[in-house]
Structure 1
């Protein structure tokens, strides 16, 4: 069911600390900032005025950030204020002021980037500032107000009712310290109203909303018309009136709400950061009135304000992403023609937001924070399908999913053609890509907050240079789409060796799109399948697999048989009918499955009719008809094919760790015999080597991955459900993690067999990012990978391994060439060959990914 995403924060009138009275708008000019840098230089370490000089420079940088949105200004402001705080230890008379100002800058960065650690630090700093100004202190009102605002932020993020209740209590105390004649009473009235309004959104107690409106009106009465932040009061009152209109449906409330937003916009310059809030509240008012009165003009005005708010350049990505997602929801709910535009806007903003993060881990955390955006890729594709634009559907599902890989791969894009056309540009691009990658890797190990801030500034400086280099490359006619989201024509190259089937699981519809080798894509509706059905099917498979693991190998797998028959009849049979009867695809041909969302946890390749009636011939299953492979994204398959040009003399390494260290898992007694078996089957021309026992360490395994083109890895595998980049292979000393693998670039690598558990299982929090060990190996350079969907029984896995390599290397003793593109076929033959030796769930567990 569609739900509007709640606004995380409303504009407020905030105290800026004791230094703000010295700062004017013109001081944010380059000359003004330069002069304050000179003042800092004139106040070296130990100078009594250095903290004030640092803070004054920090203020102008923070103000310039508000004007122009440069995050580097804000990071520098934070760094300067950290130093100022450090120079004012416990007992210093100005410590509370510098704590307040540091918290202020960190609060802005939280609003801009959404890092939860920043918000926690803001509250901690305000708590200390309040402690330094106890009851009776003449300036206690300021930390009361500021801590209250920070608690509202945290309540909006985490929903703990104690935070909002305490915020209201703090504001009421501050109000007693700011009587009617106090110049800042209007500020506290506004903030108390904001807290009451926020609690109303959670608990829907009408008394909270009515008091909030009264407090906003009282604050407005005390605020001069020329006050620089009067627009905040106007917008906040507008939001409360809109809420009351939704409940009571009094037209006077919504008319006043719209007029207040218009008045606030009239008071703001075109690039003022708070225009975002005015546009956001104005769309809310128009949309609320449209839902009651159904005037199409109101819907059009609401959509236009969604558009303006999501594209406002001086606001941070988190807020703009939130409003763009709400735009998607509104456009879908009301069947508005702007829905596709809204989806594209979301993807562009998400890509921009993730690109500001300097490590894969922080990018994944940033993506996971937008829980309401998880279904965007499949919902966007469904939207395009409903508009009969299948090419756009393919482009959207590709652009929206796998963003983690696409951002990381931008720094590893092959540039051979560019090197031939313009060696200088290619060299500059590669150099900057290398420097950004190094900066990203080094940032992972930084624990000091100040050093981390400076590292972030350096990362973004390099990123801007890299973006400028990319823009220069795109000016070349033949490279106009260099690193841009791929077009359908680009993506169709993934189907060069056989059709690709994208399985789309959306709340609006479930369907498949077949991308043929040539021609237009084909849409296959799956009318009997819903997203709820798929989630139930996924959970039933998980239970059936767990049950099978405790059953004897000879007992029938009736529950799995029923589930695989369901997959065949409701999902894969409609696809097969199109492949056979429309595309005329020959039996034995290769196909690639590209599942999304809930489809990623269902063993589609094992779909089977399991017909047993004697009066009819046996109906073939999917793997009888076609050779099935998977691909995490279309781009990944295209990239692997492009890199196949770099083939070298093959070298094969078997890596095994059957005796992991204490506490790292049980002994795998069959590993050594599996390594020996593989080593015997590898052709002599591959110069096979084995690493096991004490030699199978993290460093030893990484070195082997870099130095060999073919790898067989047998050990414990572990998918980390909370931090997928920590998913790992268990070695003798340290874990070999997904991050370790991603950091390697092995362009000549060809094939990897991952004889370990859970190596091709995605992340439940972000299923369409396909973050798992097999995808990591493909990303690092391996074109063809065999992974596993669940736990592997090492006592029977050797039967699959033996049959696989016997098929793969059959005939090589007569001078044949090792060919990783035969891996999918060899796996298909192997699973057929071991039917009498290996239980069903252990035959299904292995899947092929890549070329």
Structure 2
């Protein structure tokens, strides 16, 4: 058996041979992505492991520790030696340490034996243990290592003085751990903390003037990697630019002989290509490709970094091809992808993610085949896809994506054959369908891959005019969504996945409505509802499990995370697993998840977990008034009408997709109507009125007529109606459709009181809550105001605050005003209040919707922040801010990701929001009127739910009733809406 410390012994006896010395300085094989910071490379230099030269054999150290079990020093010495073995066995092919269990036992024993008055020794040993947790997490992905490591690292950092030369590396350990948790869960606090601690490590390292330039360079690279990770999550160009700057500064410090120098150059190149994707500045792309070429040309064959660098080069050339259309550049992208696969094959053909390099080759050939429209190129894609499948062992979870590549190749051949060889068309289609069905049924495949494949299968069947087959495929894709549990993925990752597979619900509903099997409107609505509001629906479903059965929730989310992660070839005790054993373990984990789902479904109230509830609940939800849900596919728009008796579908034949897109662009995607320049305001209001008239004629009026709500004489109390905000039509002001407000009944507000909901499931969730009755003694009204914020216009808040506090039940409601609070203060207060009234600026983000939110004194209270709350006994959230009900992202319109929806999902049964920027002057008027009318409705014995909706309706009506130019200034009163129960 090879003894990695044999050369170390030779060194003390006279030194190793020259050949051996060269071998020891080679770069250790690493699995991409590169670690944040390989702390163990510097442990000797900075005195982290003072005892490592005392014993050059693990067995000797173990024997010494056994002979003196009460010695903390000897336990630490054993642990140090076990850690140092990682310098020779850092490759995941071998595993984490020879004896991971022995290492942790020895380090924990050393800590327990250390006297409290030996503060520096105790802190040193705790620091080492935190580092070990971080190292083991990178290999095992065990969340328990993260939890333990972060707690320990925070303690160590807090207790270590800035004068201590080890402080930068202890800060780095904490930054790494928080970075891993950020990647895993997407909490922006973790991302911010990781970057902050890494920046402190760099600053302190420079201040302490560490002698080792390579160590300082690694500190900067760690900061760069964390900045890049945050940029990847949030889309921040600034973070990416800083990451590039930090890596370039690291290059200035790193020694010329350090083999990592080429890695840094390659990383800068890849980041520049990523920057180009945001900046569209071709100089970034050219510079990035040049740097990667420089690095790749100097890296020797067999270096573990080479495959990833070549793959990144391939993607860079693909970007360049997209800019130039040069087929020679595309051929170069294909060549580099092939080289990446060959390089990985040389290093380790059993590497758990080696299939990704084969898939990259296939994808490059796919682009080439699409460009050339030649069956030869499609045939090459098929050939490489088959080789990729052959190289993966039976049962490997990456088989799903490999077979998907083959199916894509067959589908591409099908489309090309339709033009060049019609006689082969059906053959290729049948082969493609067969492979897609195979992937859809692979239980151990990544859920995202299986969902994507089901959509492709549906698309293929729709081309062949098979409505029932297409509906079946889309429904299967929807049924797999729960496996992508948002509690086990970063919020931005869920948004990205959904944006790539958007429209599944409307597609399924469309083809069910066209089914030759006579399927019902209820089935179509069920498919539509199941495929919309994925983030909200899964959050609701899993949150219920968390509240009622915490242990099952933890196990469920952990298993969802595991089967969505790359294959890990490390056992529970830290030893290495063969590829076959790792595959076997993954397949068992998939079985465990299915068994756990069965166990949860056996619980009361979780019969259909994790899917949405049965369609029979829809009609029960309409007991207080009808619910209307729109679905648009191409030029076909359906309105699903849910009443207490039945579900029916109404086709809105006047709506054309082009017209709908134009109206959405005007009111949602473009500039806010209220922010248009004064000189153009009249013209813009005319366009808004045209949209409202179109909306009435083409959508709302047909719906109200079918529901028999349009009457010559208005009833004493207007009926209520709920509009589902998912989809393009749901983005528009349905409550304000029409014209002649106050002089005619050709408008929505003359016939119904409107409320909005993200999905039917969200409405059921809101009604399930049991808030404190409005006006109940002990009710707390909190007004949060942020009149001033750098970069925003100053708000006049005094009149609105006075009007709100004075107009709503002053004798029974305890009111308080929180001026200029921090984000932390506001979150803390929300947990103890019942009615929250915000007066501040609101932001809707198009690129990353979950980062939209309310601007507070220090930073933004984001939708993602709110998604992590669960509030009881709350009643109303009044968001007197801009665009709080606006969804600007055109790729995930079915998700209704807006600030108002976020408040609804955390527990507020009623939310008042705005569809666009609200006039400061109008906001000061409508808020006091709402609370005054809410009091009146309660005195008229309206239920709480009806009182809130009717109060908002009448407050809005009062705005255009007391203005002579109400018809001209629709931009002022239209944006205010009620969302909820």
TM-score normalised to the size of structure 2?
0.62
460, 466, 481: which one pairs with 2:608? Answer: 481
The 5 Å alignment of 1:322-361 reads: 337-338=469-470, 341-342=473-474, 344-345=476-477, 348-349=480-481, 352=484, 354-357=486-489
In structure 2, the CA distance between the partners of 1:315 and 1:554, relative to structure 1 (3 Å rule), is closer
Deviation for aligned residue 1:94? 8.2
Q: Is the 8 A contact 1:242 1:257 kept in 2?
A: yes
Match for 1:297 among 415, 418, 427? 427
Does the aligned pair in 1 maintain the 2:726–2:893 contact within 8 Å? yes
1:2-21 per-position Cα deviation (integer Å, ceiling 9, x unaligned)? xxxxxxxxxx9979999798
Partners of 1:733 and 1:108 in 2: how far apart?
Answer: 24
Cα offsets for 1:652-701 (capped at 9, x unmatched): 6665578935767232453256236614xx4x8x6144435869998998
Matched, 1:667 2:796: yes
**In 2 relative to 1, CA 467–254 (structure 1 residues): closer, same or farther, beyond 3 Å?**
closer
Query: Which residue in 2 is equivalent to 1:399?
Result: 530
Q: Could you tell me how far 1:533 is from its partner in structure 2?
A: 1.8
Q: Deviations over 1:191-232 (max 9, x none)?
A: 866754664455332223445566777899997799557977
Matching residue of 1:448: none
Cα distance change, pair 533–32 in 1 and its aligned pair in 2 (3 A): farther
What residue in structure 1 maps to residue 759 of structure 2? 633
Residues 459, 470 of structure 2: 8 Å contact kept: no
Q: Which residue of 2 aligns with 1:283?
A: 407
1:367 matched residue in structure 2: 495
- Seen in structure 2, the aligned counterparts of structure 1 residues 427 and 74 have a Cα distance that, compared at 3 Å, is closer
Which of 645, 665, 678 does residue 807 from structure 2 map onto? 678
1:143-181 C-alpha deviation (Å, 9 max, x unpaired): 666776777777778876556545654565456547999
CA distance change for structure 1 residues 713 and 248 in 2, over 3 Å: closer, same or farther?
A: closer
- Counterpart of 2:720 in structure 1 is 590
> Which secondary structure does the structure 2 equivalent of 1:496 belong to?
helix
Name 1:9's counterpart in structure 2: none
Matches of 2:701 and 2:528 in 1, distance apart? 23
Aligned match for 1:203, one of 324, 329, 344? 324
Alpha-carbon distance in structure 1 between the residues aligned to 2:299 and 2:521? 62
**Superposed displacement of residue 377, structure 1:** 4.6
1:51-66 maps to which residues of 2 (within 5 A)? none
- TM-superposed CA distance for 1:134, in Å, is 7.1
Alpha-carbon distance between aligned partners in 1 of 2:741 and 2:888, rounded to the nearest angstrom: 34
**Equivalent in the alignment of 1:439:** none
Contact 2:310 2:336 in 1 (8 A): yes
Take 2:784 and 2:310, find their aligned partners in 1: how far apart are those partners? 66
How much does 1:829 deviate? 4.7
Query: Which string of whole-angstrom CA distances, capped at 9 and with x for unpartnered residues, describes residues 463-509 of structure 1?
Result: x9999987644323664235532232234432121210012244463
SS in 1 for 2:655: coil
Query: d(CA) in 1 for partners of 2:243 and 2:860?
Result: 35
Comparing 363-372 and 689-698, the one that deviates more: 689-698
Identify if the C-alpha distance between structure 1 residues 246 and 277 changes in structure 2 by more than 3 Å, giving closer, same or farther: same
Q: CA deviation at 1:573?
A: 1.8
Which of 686, 693, 703 pairs up with 1:565? 693
Q: Deviations over 1:366-425 (max 9, x none)?
A: 51576444545544544544445533443344334334433543465399xxxxxxxxx9
Contact 1:784–1:849 (8 Å) recurs in 2: yes
DSSP-derived class of the 1:670 partner: helix
Corresponding residue of 1:850:
980
Q: Structure 1 residue aligned with 2:769, among 634, 643, 659?
A: 643
Cα shift readout 1:302-339 (whole Å, capped 9, x = no counterpart): 34545666787787777777666666655555556356
Deviates more, 1:570-579 or 1:686-695: 686-695
Q: Distance in 2 between matches of 1:174 and 1:551?
A: 56
What secondary structure is seen at the aligned counterpart in 2 of 1:580? coil
Quickly say closer, same or farther: Cα 1:318–1:493, change in 2 above 3 A: same
Q: Is the 8 A contact 1:343 1:380 kept in 2?
A: yes
Q: Distance in 1 between matches of 2:780 and 2:306?
A: 74
More displaced stretch, 283-292 vs 303-312: 303-312
Relative to structure 1, the CA distance from residue 100 to residue 233 in structure 2 (aligned partners, 3 Å threshold; closer, same or farther) is: farther
Q: Which residue number in structure 1 is paired with residue 735 of structure 2?
A: 605
Structure 1, unpaired ranges of 5+: 1-11, 416-424, 437-463
Residues 844 and 884, structure 2, Cα contact 8 Å, conserved in 1:
no
Q: In structure 1, what is the Cα distance between the partners aligned to 2:870 and 2:492?
A: 20
Q: Would the alpha carbon gap of residues 497 and 554 (structure 1) be closer, same or farther in structure 2, given more than 3 Å must change?
A: same
TM-score (normalizing by structure 1): 0.70
| Aligned mates of 1:64, 1:163 — CA distance in 2 | 36
Which residues in structure 2 correspond to 1:607-756 (within 5 Å)? 607-608=737-738, 610=740, 620-644=746-770, 647=773, 650-651=776-777, 660-661=787-788, 665-668=794-797, 670-671=799-800, 674-675=803-804, 678-679=807-808, 682=809, 687-692=812-817, 711=835, 713=837, 715-721=839-845, 745-751=870-876, 754=879
Quote the Cα distance in structure 1 between the aligned partners of 2:896 and 2:554: 27
1:761-783 CA distance string (max 9 Å, x none): 34546544434444344334332
Aligned pairs (5 A) from 1:487-506? 487-506=614-633
Q: Are residue 409 (structure 1) and residue 540 (structure 2) matched?
A: yes
- What SS is found at the alignment partner of 1:597? coil
Q: CA deviation at 1:793?
A: 4.8
Contact 1:238 1:260 in 2 (8 A): yes
For residue 263 of structure 1, what is the aligned residue in structure 2?
387
Tell me what 1:454 maps to: none
Aligned pairs for 1:451-462 within 5 A: none
**How far, CA to CA, are the matches of 2:685 and 2:348 in structure 1?**
76
Gaps of 5+ in 2: 1-29, 36-40, 42-85, 112-120, 154-168, 177-200, 419-424, 559-590
Contact 1:572 1:607 in 2 (8 A): yes
> For 1:538 and 1:713, how far apart are their aligned partners in 2?
29
8 Å CA contact 1:328–1:343 kept in 2: the answer is no
Distance 1:619 1:103 in 2: 62
Q: Indicate conservation of the 8 Å contact 2:311/2:340, yes or no.
A: yes
